[in-house]
């Protein structure tokens, strides 16, 4: 365990004991605000303090086992060496659990999210790639039991999407996909390329957590321009007969959101307004964290779409995430929705960055 992490755990343990003594003080009123605040702090610190105590107990056992392993008795040496191996594995597990417990939980991790994919450079090929990305995320969502709802789409002339905005509903969706925001690059031979030359195209992906009520953003009605229009696309007799689709423009920022998924204009307006609030909150967080995030490879929470985060190379069957120098030669499997080999290393790197900041 790093000395900086150990010192942090020791300080938290001391505070846990101090809070316990304060709560036991008979002069502290049971129903007071101070009592409630201390009780919440005690409950938060208790699992960390108990786990750290277990870790230190295991350290002492491991030290005793090492002494046996270095002793003069052959049988005790063998027993000690066996215990050292088992206790070292337990210490590694407990160390990882403690590091995870130290990282403050992101209150947005359990949220649903908005997934926005837009074709970038590359014309028709970029639109086709946007379709491939949407299919990849949709299949990943299916594999985890999440629901994907398309809110608005603009199809490419030869397939795919110029833009597609969807809502992903499922527990922990944001925690798993929050590192996907950024520019995704594809290198492949387009179907229309007669000479077999490799083309490079890009798409931007944005992952926005759906706001909880406590995070609601206040928007004045005077700051909004709301337009209605007739929905396009599939929809049977409903299409082009009622102005149910809604477009909302936030005048101070120029942000425009649309929703045409629902038959009800009222529902589309509600969905569009929710998406607008998510974008405004993301922009505010980006402004607050831009300086800090500049030195962090994952750009977590900034929604930075200008940075190229990943390359999908079809001829080599290779996916490369440039933020953590991750290269995988299982592109087809990943595009079919098996995103865990990409998501898991990103999550581990995020935890490492958080621990480094915590130690500092």
229 and 297 housed in the same domain: yes
Q: Look-up: residue for tokens 């402004």?
A: 287
Check whether residue 15 and residue 117 sit in a common domain: no
148 and 26 assigned to the same domain? no
Residues paired with 338 in a beta bridge: none
Q: Is the pLDDT of residue 303 over 80?
A: no
pTM here is 0.66
Distance (Å) of CA 201 to CA 119, 122, 136, 186, 325: 8, 4, 17, 5, 20
The answer to whether position 20 is within a domain reads yes
Same domain (yes/no): 279, 166 = yes
Residues 169, 40 share a domain: no
pLDDT of residue 295: 40
What local confidence, expressed as pLDDT, does residue 95 receive? 86
Q: Please tell me whether residues 240 and 213 are part of one structural domain.
A: yes
**Res 144: pLDDT:** 96
With cut-offs at 50, 70 and 90, classify the pLDDT of residue 301: very low
The DSSP bridge partners found for residue 165 are 116, 152
Q: In the listed set 57, 73, 102, which residue is the last one of a domain according to the structure? A: 102
- Among 102, 135, 163, the domain-final residue is 102
In this structure, the answer to whether residues 84 and 159 fall within a common structural domain is no
Same domain, 88 and 141: no
The answer as to whether 127 is a domain residue is yes
Q: Kind of pairing, strands 199-209 and 224-229?
A: unpaired
Instruction: Give the dihedral sign, CA 228/229/233/237.
Output: positive
| pLDDT for 76 beyond 60 | yes
Backbone angles phi, psi at 126, to 5 degrees: -65, -40
Residue 107 located in a structural domain: no
Regarding whether 316 and 215 lie in a shared domain, the answer is: yes
Q: Quick one: average pLDDT of 216-226? A: 83
pLDDT (tens digit per residue) in 150-207: 998 999 998 999 999 999 999 999 999 999 999 999 999 987 676 778 999 999 999 9
Q: What is the average pLDDT across 130-148? A: 97
- Reported as a single tens digit per residue, the pLDDT across 35-58 is 888 998 899 899 899 999 999 999
Residues 80 and 125 in one domain: no
Q: How many CA atoms lie within 13 A of 323 on its CB side?
A: 28
Q: Is the pLDDT of residue 274 over 50?
A: yes
Total domains present in the chain = 2
The answer to whether residues 67 and 123 belong to one domain is: no
pLDDT at position 308: 87
Identify whether residues 191 and 244 lie together within a single domain: yes
**Among residues 67, 102, 137, which one ends one of the domains?**
102
| Boundaries of domain holding 64 | 3-102
* Residue 87 resides in a domain: yes
Q: How far is Cα 247 from Cα 7, in angstroms, rounded to an integer?
A: 53
Tokens for 216, please give them. 């609601």
Contact 48, 101 (CB under 8 A): yes
Assess if residue 81 is contained within a domain: yes
CB 59 within 8 A of CB 91: yes
Note whether residue 282 is domain-resident.
yes
Read off φ and ψ for residue 150, nearest 5 degrees: -80, 125
Residue 360, in any domain of the structure: no
User: In sequence order, what are the residues at sequence separation of 6 or more whose Cβ sits closer than 8 angstroms to the Cβ of residue 279?
Assistant: 208, 255, 257
Alpha helix (H) residue ranges in 70-172: 74-102, 124-143
| Residue 337 forms part of a structural domain | yes
d(CA 14, CA 36): 20
Residues of the chain above pLDDT 90, percent: 41
User: Crossing angle, helix 74-102 and helix 3-23, to 10 degrees?
Assistant: 70
CATH number at residue 141: 3.30.70.1660
Biggest CA-to-CA distance, the chain: 91
């Amino acid at each position: 365990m790093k000395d900086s992490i150990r010192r942090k755990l020791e300080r938290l343990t001391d505070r846990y004991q101090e809070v316990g003594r304060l709560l036991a003080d008979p002069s502290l009123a049971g129903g007071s605000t101070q009592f409630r605040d201390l009780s919440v702090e005690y409950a938060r610190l208790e699992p960390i303090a108990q786990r750290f105590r277990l870790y230190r107990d295991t350290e002492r056992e491991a030290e005793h086992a090492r002494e046996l392993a270095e002793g003069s008795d052959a049988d005790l040496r063998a027993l000690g060496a066996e215990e050292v191996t088992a206790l070292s594995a337990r210490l590694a597990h407990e160390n990882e659990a403690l590091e995870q417990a130290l990282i403050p939980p992101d209150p947005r991790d359990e949220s649903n999210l908005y997934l926005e994919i837009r074709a970038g450079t590359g014309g028709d090929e970029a639109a086709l790639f946007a379709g491939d990305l949407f299919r990849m995320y949709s299949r990943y969502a299916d594999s985890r039991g999440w629901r994907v709802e398309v809110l608005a789409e603009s199809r490419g002339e030869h397939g795919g999407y110029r833009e597609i905005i969807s809502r992903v509903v499922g527990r922990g969706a944001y925690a798993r996909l929050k590192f996907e925001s950024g520019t995704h690059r594809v290198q492949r031979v387009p179907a229309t390329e007669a000479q077999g030359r490799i083309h490079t195209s890009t798409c931007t992906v944005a992952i926005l957590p759906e706001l909880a009520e406590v995070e609601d953003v206040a928007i004045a009605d005077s700051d909004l321009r709301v337009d209605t229009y007739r929905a396009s696309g599939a929809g049977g007799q409903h299409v082009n007969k009622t102005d149910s689709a809604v477009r909302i423009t936030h005048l101070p920022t120029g942000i425009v959101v649309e929703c045409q998924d629902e038959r009800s204009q009222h529902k589309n307006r509600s969905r569009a307004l929710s998406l607008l609030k998510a974008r405004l909150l993301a922009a505010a967080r980006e402004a607050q964290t831009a300086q800090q995030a500049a030195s962090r490879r994952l750009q977590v929470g900034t929604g930075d779409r200008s940075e190229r985060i990943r390359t999908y190379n079809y001829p080599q069957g290779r996916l490369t995430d440039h933020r953590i120098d991750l290269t995988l030669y299982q592109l087809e499997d990943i595009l079919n929705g098996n995103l865990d080999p990409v998501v898991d290393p990103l999550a581990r790197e995020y935890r490492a960055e958080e621990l480094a900041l915590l130690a500092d």
